[in-house]
Amino acid sequence: MNYVAVPAIVAISIAAAGRFTYDVGTHVEQAVLWCLVLGETGERKSPVLQAVMRPIEEWDKSEIEKLAPAFRASAARSCIEKDRLKALQSQATSAKHPEDRERARKEAEALAANQGETLHLVPLILQDLTTEAAIQHMGRNHGRLVVASAEGGLFLNISGRYSDAPNVDAFCQGYSGESIITNRVGRPPDVVPHPAVVIAQIIQPAVLRELKAKQHLRQIGFLARFLCVVPTSRLGRRLLPDPEVQDARRERLQNAATEYGSVLKEALGQKPFEAPPPPTTILCSSEARAVWRRFSDAVEVRLPKTGDLYDVRDWAAKLPGHVVRIAGALHVYELGSAAFMYEISGENMRRAVTIGEYLIGHALAAFALIESEQLTLLAERIVAWILRNRIERFSTKRCQQNLRVKSEVITAALEKLADHNFIRKVEQEQRDGPGRKPSAEWMVRPDLAVRLERIGEESASLNSRNPALHQPGGGTRPETASLNSLNAPALSAGDGSRRRPSRELPAPQSEPLPDVEEPRVELDAEEQQRLRRLESAFDDVEGLEESP
């Protein structure tokens, strides 16, 4: 459901983009929404995006076909006028008699002054474009632009694929509705008075994780504008049902898709190439405003350093605004082209608040995936390898050979684990003389598994006090399960510097490391069962079994 629901809400916002704004009492929000769904290869991202965007693409194609003759006539007139202008300019400079040159000059000036703008047939939805192309496209389409893709080309372009520095100003202005004015040498400036950009991206986490401009995009608030979704992977569980069940399911899906498409096409209403009037402001009812204020205040108190949303405060600070836009999208879907005649109801605002609370856990998981570092990921693999093989003592070389990584990287990861009291380096005698120095030895703290489970229980207890971190239907999100012990946020640096969200190892504990020379503590039956449960959390980690 996660793959479909949020992109569908964003698709609904396309019908309102550039046409409506939403007044919540304290300020006015634009109608556009952005979504970022992160899924690995094989999760059928492209079919989902195609299904969500199909009604809009069909509507857009139909309108283009209707207007194609007029656009072809406009293109023909433009060619004739350009050829005539060139001929007059030539006469104005090469005619023998001054009267002929003067007459040609006046005709050329008059023709240039009255020359109409060439109309362009441009689709509403694009997949891959640069910022400069986006501005040009918005100018030709009266400010509206939809960027929908399952490949991630947009992020590669704006982060510097064709230039050294990322340029996202036009997209951000299209989100906030600010006028776009650009000056270019040799041609008139591009002016877009009411830009409205909708973005729907269903891509792999690695696309963002490996962007060279990732930190810059986050610092300027570009990533904070997205509704982030990290669906639970269905790989390995997509078993085909019986034919009878499959037929019934297909019929239900077809009926839902038909209703969704008809409502969305009716809500789109406006012709794609008509110059729209200024956006109409839709008011929120007094009940809706009260619901929204309570939610906004509840989010605000979670943003300081002591709050659970501090690590995603850039995203969470925009969440109340996201909720207003979601409520507006639900309002437009409910009433279609008549949406401007009614206020946004309290019920739609409550639905939007529920969606906003649900998205908090997804945002925490998404930014953890985006910000994760290879060193932290390797440290997690080392811990999984230790627990899976019940290792008490090992060398750096042994660990490197089994995990198949470079020696300098494995050493850095081991030192990070040592800093957090998961392992301890064994003191070795200094050996003089020729020959290679022995590989460093590491001792695993005897209670590592129990300690990890204790940290996980504390994290689960914290999450249980925050219902927004849970998925509907009960149970915590996978991102907050056992492996969360290795993903806890680092403590604030104290100097106001930014903290990396979620993927950091737990901060060093104050208790001393147990004496590694003591024998392992015998666990009773209940503790052994708990240990087996914890170790089973690592069973799906590939390639961690020790080589024979």
379 and 366 fall within a common domain: no
pTM score = 0.65
142 vs 140: CA distance, rounded Å = 6
260 and 351 fall within a common domain: yes
86 and 143 fall within a common domain: no
34 vs 50: CA distance, rounded Å = 16
42 and 163 fall within a common domain: yes
Q: Please check the confidence at residue 494 and state whether its pLDDT lies above 70.
A: no
Its domain, for residue 29, covers 2-66+121-371
230 and 348 fall within a common domain: yes
Instruction: Please indicate, yes or no, if residue 320 is contained in any of the structural domains.
Output: yes
Instruction: Please indicate, yes or no, if residue 548 is contained in any of the structural domains.
Output: no
295 and 147 fall within a common domain: yes
95 and 25 fall within a common domain: no
Q: Report the amino acid identity of residue 468.
A: A
| The pLDDT value given to residue 125 | 80
Q: Which residue has the tokens 């001929």?
A: 87
164 and 175 fall within a common domain: yes
233 and 265 fall within a common domain: yes
306 vs 521: CA distance, rounded Å = 37
289 and 398 fall within a common domain: no
Neighbour order of strands in the sheet with 28-30: 28-30, 20-23, 280-283
114 vs 116: CA distance, rounded Å = 6
pLDDT tens-digit profile of 184-206? Answer: 666 677 788 889 999 999 888 88
pLDDT tens-digit profile of 427-473? Answer: 877 766 666 778 889 999 888 877 676 665 655 554 444 443 333 33
How many structural domains compose the chain?
3
User: If you average pLDDT over each of 54-68, 403-417, 508-522, which comes out highest?
Assistant: 403-417
Q: Is 429 exposed, middle or buried (0-12, 13-18, 19+ CB in 10 A)?
A: exposed
